[in-house]
């Protein structure tokens, strides 16, 4: 470049300097515009995050409302709650029906191997802060805690499960992330821990 400039006359050098000055001015304007565009993009990004936070909060509040409405309905149907009706002992009529069934005739035996083809897999679901779990469930309007979905037999489409846990052995009505995937536990069922299988067309 230096050799090329040596061949320029003073007049041409002045002309080139004028061109460079004008180019420098245009570049400065473009740099300022680029900085303004970056600032505007940053502001749009910040607003998008705020909008996402508000949308997520709205979704969580909607889910909380639905859970509380389901809990209210369960309490109204005496499926759960702090004042469940007392369930008495088996009636005498049921005892008499059970006693009527006897095996006084010839003993019949049959054997079926249900263990054939059983798939096994270990799944660890760790819950911490159990002392706070009842308060969290009450605040969220839920009856029990739910695990993430896990698979046992990867070749079987319906071999998917979740675990549900009630700290006080209460209702096990759960609210899975995808209610179409997992069947609801029978209404009024209570307990501490349950294994829920993916809903299948055959059962």
pLDDT of residue 185: 63
pLDDT confidence of residue 89 = 47
Residues of the chain with pLDDT under 50: 89-91, 102, 201-203
Residue 7's pLDDT is 78
pLDDT (0 to 100) of residue 6: 79
For residue 51, the model assigns a pLDDT of 95
Q: Is the pTM of this model over 0.95?
A: no
pLDDT of residue 58: 93
Note the pLDDT of residue 47: 95
pLDDT for 88 equals 55
Distance (Å, rounded) from C-alpha 183 to C-alpha 99?
36
Task: Give the pLDDT confidence score for residue 122 in this predicted structure.
Answer: 83
- pLDDT for residue 194: 85
Rounded percentage of the chain residues whose pLDDT exceeds 70: 74
User: Please, are residues 143 and 71 in contact by the beta-carbon 8 Å criterion?
Assistant: yes
Tokens, residue 129: 């802060």
Alpha helices in 107-166, H assignment, sequence order = 133-140
pLDDT digits 0-9 by tens, 58-117: 998 898 898 889 888 888 988 887 788 876 544 455 555 555 554 555 666 666 666 666
Instruction: Say what the alpha-carbon torsion angle 182, 188, 192, 196 is, to the nearest 10 degrees.
Output: -10
Whole-number pLDDT of residue 153:
77
Contacts of 12 (CB under 8 A, 6+ apart): none
């Amino acid at each position: 470049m230096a050799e090329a400039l040596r061949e320029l006359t003073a007049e041409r050098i002045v002309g080139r300097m004028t061109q460079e000055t004008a180019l420098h001015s245009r570049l400065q304007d473009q740099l300022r515009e680029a900085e303004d565009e970056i600032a505007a993009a940053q502001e749009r990004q910040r607003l998008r995050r705020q909008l996402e936070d508000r949308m997520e909060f709205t979704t969580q509040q909607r889910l909380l409302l639905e859970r509380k409405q389901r809990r209210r309905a369960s309490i109204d149907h005496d499926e759960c709650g702090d004042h469940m009706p007392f369930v008495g002992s088996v009636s005498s009529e049921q005892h008499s029906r059970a006693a009527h069934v006897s095996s006084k005739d010839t003993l019949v035996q049959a054997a079926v191997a249900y263990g054939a083809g059983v798939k096994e897999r270990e799944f660890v679901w760790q819950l911490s802060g159990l002392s706070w779990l009842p308060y969290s469930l009450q605040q969220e309007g839920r009856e029990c805690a739910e695990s993430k979905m896990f698979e046992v037999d990867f070749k079987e489409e319906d071999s998917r499960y979740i675990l549900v846990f009630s700290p006080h052995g209460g209702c096990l009505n759960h609210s899975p992330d995808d209610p179409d995937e997992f069947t609801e536990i029978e209404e009024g069922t209570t307990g501490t821990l349950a294994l829920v299988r993916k809903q299948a067309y055959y059962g």
